[in-house]
Structure 1
Amino acid sequence: MHAFNKPTVDDVNNLFDEQKLNDSLQQGAGNIVSALKDEVAAINQGLKTLYQNGAPVEDIVFGRASLMDRLLTTLYQHIFSDIKQPVALIAVGGFGRGELHPASDIDLMLLLQDKEDTITKDAIEQFIMLLWDGGLEIGHSVRTLDECAAEAASDITIATNIMEARLLAGDLFLFDSMQQLTGPDSIWGDQAFFQTKLKEQVQRNGKYNDTAYNLEPNIKEGHGGLRDIQMIGWVTKRHFGASSLRDLVDHRFLREEELTALLEGQRLLWQIRCSLHYLTGRREDRLLFDYQHQLALEFGFEDDAEKRSNRAIEQFMQQYYRTVMELERLNEMLLQLFREAILYKDKPGEIVVINESFQTIHGYIEVRHENVFSDKPSALLELFLINEQHPEIQGVRAETIRLIRKNRHLIDDEFRESDEAKRLFIEIIRQSRGVTHEFRRMNRYGILAAYIPAFGRIVGRMQYDLFHAFTVDQHTLFVLRNLRRLSVPNFCHEFPLASGISHHLKKPELLYLAGLFHDIAKGRDGDHSELGAEDALEFCLSHGLSQKDSRLVSWLVRNHLIMSITAQRKDISDPEVIADFAEKVNSLRNLDYLYLLTMSDIRATNPKQWNSWKDKLLIELYNKTAHMLQQGVGYQANRQRDIEHNRTYAFRNLAKEGFGILEIDAIWDNFTDEYFLRHTPAEIVWHTKEIKKHTDTNTPVVKTRTDSRRGSMELFVFSRSVSHMFARIVSVLGQLNLSVADAFIMRGMKGCLLETYKIVFSDDMVEHIDNYANEVVPLVVDKLADTELSDLTTMAVPRVQKHFEVETKISFTQIDDNGVTRMHIETRDRPGLLSIIARTFIQCNIGIHSAKISTAGETANDYFDITQANRLNRLSDDMKYQLKQALLEQL
């Protein structure tokens, strides 16, 4: 977006040739549409060229509106010149503000005194049709004055659009009458308008997940986006009758530097929006992964070629996130000023003194004099502690927000080393209420980044993958929110085990500190867990925590991923896995803290990543590890105990239902110890009953059962004669786009095959879980009956996954003396991935015994226990090499 000769405003204005269009209009109908199309195309292409050659974005946005003004006026004069009935052509909405982005609709209203007569109606239809035929994207309405007033009174969106109206052509009296009928003296007075628009903003922010920091943000509707700037403009216009944001400076609502920040933020969002419109050729306000790299390069950021990083995208997006964060702060401050000016203008309010530094008025805290922070810098932290300790405080007054921002520089090394600052910070994080709100406020005002400089480096930092849905700082604050939520009695029903543990923690602030520091080293060279652990240890010790407590926080940061990895990627039915994890955890105290941090971390990473299956896995790992830590017995003894426990309880339940010993033994003689280890008594009972009911030994048993509360389905298949059963089944599951979390494959003692699959459903699929259960059974039955293994179905890679490269890594580990090799594969997730892997196993003569499936964003992390297909022997080095090469070729 650089050029040798920078375009000028005159270059924009010269894009429309009014005389040429007028000549075509005079020549008659045959030339009008063609001429209009040519003129519109010339304007659009001309603006695009000027933008690409470095024209300021303001010239494009205002210039397009100005060019459309002239074009529409020309057409209006041609069509309505002989119409007797008064008609006003009015620009509304963004066009009314004089702003038109490259692909934005042109919003128009045709205003009449009374209902149109036939001649006027025909003229209006001709005008609208001509605009559409000429290639203009318009939004239009036709209203009488009475209709205008009535609709604006009942719908604030219409009232807001009309409030921004500009007369383009036609009857001035009509336009003035409309403004009078829809102004604040007639409808939507100051207070009603402000309160309703404020409610709209709250609802809008909630819709976009209460954060501007989604990795594919909507730059118009998201928090801190263009709509928030427009919100300021609407209130300004309604209350002051002001026509521009600069008027807020004249009214002493904004300072010059704040206006500059507001306009610079708007300018960046306008640039991004213009670039998006030109890049996509349509109205697109989402910063999708599809466009981020190209936009990053367009805005002058560069990748690190040596590290094959996405540095350009991450730097571009960090600029965006930090900009909307500043806009979010300005929006909060201005709305607070508006609240005081509009809602409390006739209500002086009682001043309640808190201490020598702070007081409240109308429920909002403020400094008692403008030198509070300069006289006593520690008050920059004290304010947040007071907010926590006084639940009646609703927020911070605007002038105090200004002073906080103005005095942030006082938080320097000397401030950070002061005992009072350290005491206040620890007190803030130890409070029983308000911790999440105040840490978010501290982040928004820049205090958290100033006090912990390492945190400042992660503010607005994105991670370019599908696993992390938010920027690092926002993710961290979501972790803190989740941890705090576990301690709130009203939410204890959500996660009973975790809430119970949380309520018994003696020092929950240690957990919150671990949450605050767990990702603080993201983006630095090196292991972020190790680097963050060092930061956490130094911080805790410097803030007066004991060696024991400081080491716990540091240990949690260093090991915050191990429980998630163990639960999702390892076989936690294997006591050896539990023993290894228990050895790393070392104590029940560590386990309690780690479990709470792990579940809160996963839930804060991406709402779509958390499900009842992961909840179940973590609970199972927690319970088994706690038992092993309490008992202290070896894993071999635990293994045998678990097998006997599952057999005994399953046997008792079957006996209660009338099964005899011989009946049970006849079925169980097929089952291996591994089967009894991997399945619960309830699952064993279910399988046994289904096999017993199935009298036709020539056809397989195919059954499902669902748990809609947990969003999961179990698929159970038992057969004595089907080849390549795993490949056939995962082919069906892949076609249905079902997500396999776990698979167990047993070659029975008498040649039978038993396979079980755990399938998890996303929230939007859970309501259809029973339909999937009914659909999958006949499809699996048909697939197992095929004499030939049909070709795999090729499915398209989803849009968002196409933009991420994941290097395929394959490794092998010998796990026992019986020939079983564990293969680990890390690759990009895609539809039908398991089918591709299963087909490759067949081609390479590989037999599969179990599978552990885990997906994080765009990355699949899968483990398969395999042998040679027929002889159940271990894989030779040559077979491993051939299998690896075949998989790499496919993936």
Structure 2
Amino acid sequence: MPTRLKPTRLEYVVDGVRLRAQLSAAALENLGDEAAQRKAALDVLKAALFRGRMIAKERLENGAGGIETARLLSGVTDEVVSALYDFTTVHVFRARNPTEGERLALMAVGGYGRGTLAPYSDIDLLFVRPYKQTAHTESVIEFMLYALWDLGFKVGHASRTIEECIKLSREDFTIRTSILEARRLTGDEELAEELVRRFRGEVVKGTGAEFVAAKLKERDDRHARAGASRYMVEPNVKEGKGGLRDLNTLFWIAQYLHPGETIERVMQMEMFERREVRTFIKAFDFLWAVRSHLHFATGRPEERLSFDLQPEIARRMGYGDRGDAPAVERFMRRYFLIAKDVGALTRVFAAKLEAEQVKTAPKGISRFIPGRQVKRKPLDEPGFHEVGGRLDVDPDIFEHDPVNLLRLFRIADTRNLDLHPDAFTAASRSVNLITSAVRRDRHAAKVFLDILARGRDPRTTLTLMNEAGVLGRYMPEWGRIVAQMQFNMYHSYTVDEHTLRAVGVIADIAAGRLADDHPLAVQIMPLIADREALFLAMLLHDTGKGGAGGQEVAGARAARQACERLGLERSKIELVAWLVEHHLVMSDYAQKRDISDPRTVADFAGIVQSPERLRLLLVLTVADIRAVGPGVWNGWKGQLMRELYAATEAVFRGGRGSDAAAALKRYQENAAYDARVRLSKVEPAAEAWGDAMEDAYFTAFDEREVLIHARLAVQAAAAGGAAAEGRVRADLNASEVVVAADDRPRLFVDLAEAITGAGANVVGARVFTSSSGSALDVFYIQDAAGQPYGADDARLLPRLAESLAAAARGEVQAREPRRADLGRTAAFAITPAVMLDNDASEDSTVVEASGRDRPGLLARLARTLSDAGLSITSAHIDGYGERAVDAFYVVDENGEKLTDARKGNALKQALLGALADSEAESAQGRRSNLQRARASVAR
């Protein structure tokens, strides 16, 4: 990290006396020429403003604090605005004998009034008049505003009398808050003092409760707009939960309840320990530094710490790679730890409000009635009591028995009580009482497992424990992932937030609340014998991130350590460790492998080994994927999971171990026989087609879908050898397009290119070929926004179906190539990878290609495979944010696996070349983004 610089004095940056002398000289030199006077004055002010900003930027990059930078920029702006006011009222519109109506005070309000300013923030100004506006004051204000705009400022402004300020601030809390921070810059001093005096006496006095209520509601609404979690991986530094606005809210409330007191004085009150004061200042300083760097890096008032900016801000703030931890992840973890501190500080401040009877109850407006007496209701747990509907504790309860640090949260969960801020503060201040002896205490383990596996609302309770620091202290494995971020677009939250959400999903499944989204998981949840193992595995599944040996192995090691400390029996410890080590296996097999291939299911069944593990793994996988972020889970993934579960369950019913493939084959044969019989009765014309289709096809689709496909195949035979149709599948969050055609080389390639040319993205594909040479290709597609293709425009799917039928017949179609707009994905450097596996299937070689996702990638990879003389028998498309992982089952021209090592290596190089083209585009995108930012700053 850069060495912290000593603060610099403002006069060394902008000398106000010298600045005014320069403006006077400019006025005198251009006397009689108003345009020349104005231009000369603006040139002087621009130079001063530029010098001040560049000094602030240089100091920030060399280690100056965020608060110092914000105050320096505010001070520079003060000098420029005040000097402009003097120039305007002395040299442009001078009133030699000012009347009462020509008095004018210029005040900074809002954030600028607080004396802090980001490099490209708006400045809020209030022109205070004694009564109605005169021609003189109107001219002064108009001249100043145009000059400020020409200087590059974005100005929020108002011109009001004191009466208007008082009236409007009573009616509007936004105006009231801005005047709360009003600070005189220049102009009539008595007028400014009168406004402050009357505002405190006529607006603030006696209205603390309603102001607190309004500010807290405003905060909650803002959090809902910006994202309710403070652990979203692209946070808004200003407006997001845990950001600067939360600290500003504390400022406002403190100022309102203690008018005239400095924030330093408020921070010295009994409620704050020195540690909390240091934390407050540290958080404020860090967030201001991040915000200032964001503005300087982009040359605009950017408040969102997006993926493409995070590496640059990390570099500017002096973070470097350390071991396996990239600089950007180290920086972002620091950011989220600060956001966590902001949440804890908010609770501490709430405790002070509680003591002052401003905020006395968790529900209802009555909590804001001053003087309301709150009764203490003792509970049957010694040392715990209820105060105003919240759980509080005796002062020495944690020192008496540190296990009470865990009991506090169990009681709150059991009784559905919010924690009293004093209790939360006391717990967070007492976490050091949790020692190794407490971690191995059997009573503590019982309390913890009650919360996790049998609690009413484990996600909320564990979140409170995490915010207080209790969870990470009790379970050190968890402490290592608190606020940890993975720098990718797949995960929307930090590791700990993702995990807590996943625990909540399991609790919702257990309660039957997700029956519509996850019917199978809800159905099998009562059959799970060991819920403790399930919840423990979910809590610990990501504790191996960044660990030695890889995430899965390191996670299993951490899980064993944690479970042994809890005193669990050996069988349960090994079950939890197995689940953690294999928590990605089911999603990998379902989304990257052909479930209709007996080898896929046999291999998966060989890993799982028992129906109980299968049930546990399904619920664990569903919760893990669903908790990654909005839109990651969809019906398509759900169907794949259900198919893999059903096929594996059939294996366990029909045989074990080496009999798995045989059991699945019997299952498929029986299903195929029944389906063919039903098809021949309903659609006799399709009987021959059904007899020629492979058995695996009939276990991949239900009876209704088989009938649709059969009729399409009959139609294709009568329409030149190809037919296609599409429909929106809301249940899969995708549209399904089915193509029936005579099989031929490059058929899949032509179809994939036609889909890309139509502006659709393939999220899944199934390819079947009958013994009579008929192909049935089923594609699941979405639009660029991740919605079912054609859902908003009924013309798109029929048009695409016509295009696919033509492509299947081999008709050449002129298509304008889609340009790959990398967008935010350009921020990530992705190493392409290709794997060839001849053991994953009995009949095919599995080719897995991984690289940067982009439009047309599937078609490009399919073309490369076709050029190598290979036929695609099955394709499986999966995406993880910026990374695509596409798996193809291929055979050579003889219908056999690719076993020639030389040809295999050549294929690898060709596929890596296709993937590398995307990476080259990305590198160019990153360079362009950086160049644009630098050019913007230079301007």
TM normalised by structure 1 equals 0.91
Matching of residue 98 in structure 1 with residue 103 in structure 2: no
Alpha carbons of structure 1 residues 332 and 845: separation in structure 2 relative to 1, 3 Å: same
- Offset of residue 144 of structure 1: 4.8
Residue equivalent to 1:64: 73
| C-alpha distance in structure 1 between counterparts of 2:161 and 2:756, whole Å | 57
Residue equivalent to 2:937: none
2:787 to 757, 760, 765: 765
Letter in 1 for 2:506: L
Spell out the pairing of 1:675-694 with structure 2 (5 A cutoff): 675-693=697-715
Matching of residue 457 in structure 1 with residue 474 in structure 2: no
Q: Contact 2:650–2:664 at 8 Å: present in 1 too?
A: no
- Offset of residue 686 of structure 1: 0.9
SS of equivalent residue, structure 2 residue 308: helix
Matching of residue 832 in structure 1 with residue 856 in structure 2: yes
1:19 to 11, 18, 21: 21
- Offset of residue 654 of structure 1: 6.8
Residue equivalent to 1:319: 334
- Offset of residue 851 of structure 1: 0.7
SS of equivalent residue, structure 1 residue 486: helix
| C-alpha distance in structure 1 between counterparts of 2:898 and 2:529, whole Å | 50
Residue equivalent to 2:365: none
The two structures, once aligned, show a CA RMSD in angstroms of 3.1
| C-alpha distance in structure 1 between counterparts of 2:841 and 2:308, whole Å | 49
Alpha carbons of structure 1 residues 803 and 362: separation in structure 2 relative to 1, 3 Å: same
| C-alpha distance in structure 1 between counterparts of 2:536 and 2:835, whole Å | 36
Alpha carbons of structure 1 residues 696 and 302: separation in structure 2 relative to 1, 3 Å: same
2:837 to 802, 813, 824: 813
Matching of residue 556 in structure 1 with residue 573 in structure 2: no
- 1:317-359 Cα offsets, whole Å, 9 max, x none, are 2222212211211112212322442134412211111233121
Matching of residue 296 in structure 1 with residue 319 in structure 2: no
| C-alpha distance in structure 1 between counterparts of 2:725 and 2:799, whole Å | 11
Alpha carbons of structure 1 residues 531 and 74: separation in structure 2 relative to 1, 3 Å: closer
2:57 to 39, 48, 55: 48
| C-alpha distance in structure 2 between counterparts of 1:172 and 1:360, whole Å | 51
- Offset of residue 216 of structure 1: 1.8
Matching of residue 851 in structure 1 with residue 875 in structure 2: yes
Residue equivalent to 2:35: 29
Residue equivalent to 1:263: 281
Residue equivalent to 1:38: 47
SS of equivalent residue, structure 2 residue 724: strand
Letter in 1 for 2:636: W
| C-alpha distance in structure 2 between counterparts of 1:366 and 1:4, whole Å | 41
1:601 to 586, 606, 624: 624
Q: Contact 1:145–1:178 at 8 Å: present in 2 too?
A: yes
- Offset of residue 707 of structure 1: 1.6
Residue equivalent to 2:359: 343
| C-alpha distance in structure 2 between counterparts of 1:455 and 1:235, whole Å | 35
Matching of residue 126 in structure 1 with residue 132 in structure 2: no
Q: Contact 1:317–1:462 at 8 Å: present in 2 too?
A: yes
SS of equivalent residue, structure 1 residue 262: helix
Alpha carbons of structure 1 residues 763 and 801: separation in structure 2 relative to 1, 3 Å: closer
- Offset of residue 9 of structure 1: 1.4
Alpha carbons of structure 1 residues 606 and 294: separation in structure 2 relative to 1, 3 Å: same
| C-alpha distance in structure 1 between counterparts of 2:818 and 2:897, whole Å | 32
Q: Contact 2:838–2:897 at 8 Å: present in 1 too?
A: no
Letter in 1 for 2:569: S
Letter in 2 for 1:22: S
| C-alpha distance in structure 2 between counterparts of 1:234 and 1:794, whole Å | 51
Matching of residue 727 in structure 1 with residue 749 in structure 2: yes
| C-alpha distance in structure 2 between counterparts of 1:429 and 1:207, whole Å | 30
Q: Contact 2:243–2:342 at 8 Å: present in 1 too?
A: yes
| C-alpha distance in structure 2 between counterparts of 1:46 and 1:612, whole Å | 55
Alpha carbons of structure 1 residues 182 and 782: separation in structure 2 relative to 1, 3 Å: farther
Alpha carbons of structure 1 residues 374 and 813: separation in structure 2 relative to 1, 3 Å: closer
Q: Contact 1:639–1:677 at 8 Å: present in 2 too?
A: no
SS of equivalent residue, structure 1 residue 210: coil
- Offset of residue 264 of structure 1: 1.0
Alpha carbons of structure 1 residues 779 and 71: separation in structure 2 relative to 1, 3 Å: farther
Spell out the pairing of 1:411-450 with structure 2 (5 A cutoff): 411-450=434-473
- Offset of residue 414 of structure 1: 2.1
Q: Percent identity?
A: 28
Matching of residue 109 in structure 1 with residue 126 in structure 2: yes
SS of equivalent residue, structure 2 residue 854: coil
Residue equivalent to 2:412: 387
SS of equivalent residue, structure 1 residue 769: coil
SS of equivalent residue, structure 1 residue 254: coil
Higher relative contact order structure (alpha carbons within 8 Å, sequence separation ≥ 6): 2
Matching of residue 195 in structure 1 with residue 195 in structure 2: no
Which is worse superposed, 632-641 or 880-889?
Answer: 632-641
Residue equivalent to 2:246: 228
SS of equivalent residue, structure 2 residue 385: strand
Which is worse superposed, 76-85 or 294-303?
Answer: 76-85
Matching of residue 276 in structure 1 with residue 294 in structure 2: yes
Matching of residue 533 in structure 1 with residue 549 in structure 2: no
TM normalised by structure 2 equals 0.87
| C-alpha distance in structure 1 between counterparts of 2:802 and 2:191, whole Å | 69
Residue equivalent to 1:366: 392
Q: Contact 1:850–1:865 at 8 Å: present in 2 too?
A: yes
SS of equivalent residue, structure 1 residue 571: coil
Residue equivalent to 1:521: 544
Q: Contact 2:439–2:565 at 8 Å: present in 1 too?
A: no
| C-alpha distance in structure 2 between counterparts of 1:229 and 1:535, whole Å | 36
Matching of residue 152 in structure 1 with residue 176 in structure 2: no
- Offset of residue 459 of structure 1: 1.3
Q: Contact 1:608–1:762 at 8 Å: present in 2 too?
A: no
Letter in 1 for 2:141: I
Q: Which runs of 5+ in 2 are unaligned?
A: 361-369, 916-939
SS of equivalent residue, structure 1 residue 509: helix
SS of equivalent residue, structure 1 residue 346: coil
- 1:727-766 Cα offsets, whole Å, 9 max, x none, are 2332243345533232233455455443211225688635
Q: Contact 2:478–2:543 at 8 Å: present in 1 too?
A: yes
Q: Contact 2:765–2:778 at 8 Å: present in 1 too?
A: yes
| C-alpha distance in structure 2 between counterparts of 1:729 and 1:602, whole Å | 30
Alpha carbons of structure 1 residues 736 and 271: separation in structure 2 relative to 1, 3 Å: farther
Q: Contact 2:735–2:790 at 8 Å: present in 1 too?
A: no
| C-alpha distance in structure 1 between counterparts of 2:853 and 2:119, whole Å | 36
| C-alpha distance in structure 1 between counterparts of 2:526 and 2:351, whole Å | 37
Spell out the pairing of 1:488-637 with structure 2 (5 A cutoff): 488-632=511-655, 634-637=660-663
Residue equivalent to 2:931: none
- 1:820-861 Cα offsets, whole Å, 9 max, x none, are 422121222222211221232343333322211111222222
| C-alpha distance in structure 1 between counterparts of 2:909 and 2:789, whole Å | 41
Letter in 2 for 1:321: F
| C-alpha distance in structure 1 between counterparts of 2:412 and 2:76, whole Å | 52
Matching of residue 357 in structure 1 with residue 357 in structure 2: no
Letter in 2 for 1:734: T
Matching of residue 211 in structure 1 with residue 233 in structure 2: no
